[in-house]
Amino acid sequence: MEILGISYIEWFGYLASFFVLLSFLMRNITTLRYVNTLGCMFFVIYGVLLNSWPIIITNAAIILVNIYYLFVNWKKSGSQT
């Protein structure tokens, strides 16, 4: 299946790239991590569709790092109240 002559698999790659790029434009680190995680999730889907383990592993690891730091920031902000 194609949209505008681009396969749906490539669209996942473009969507993932868009969200990762968008995340670097964020000033708030929490927002950056959420948007980056979304982009990485799309990259994991893209990697699965391509059966590309390097894409899957790298982006899954980045998701885990983002979740870790989101949790640390959440715990830190919760203890300050």
What distance in Å separates the CA atoms of residue 76 and residue 38, rounded to the nearest whole number?
23
Angstrom distance (rounded) from CA 73 to CA 80: 11
One pLDDT digit (tens) per residue for the chain, 81 residues: 777 778 888 988 999 999 999 999 999 988 999 999 999 999 999 999 999 999 999 999 999 999 999 998 877 777 665
> Could you tell me the pTM of the whole model?
0.84
DSSP 62-81: HHHHHHHHHHHHHHHHHHT-
Render the burial of 51-79: b for 16+ CB within 10 Å, e for the rest: eeeebbeebeebbeebeeeeeeeeeeeee
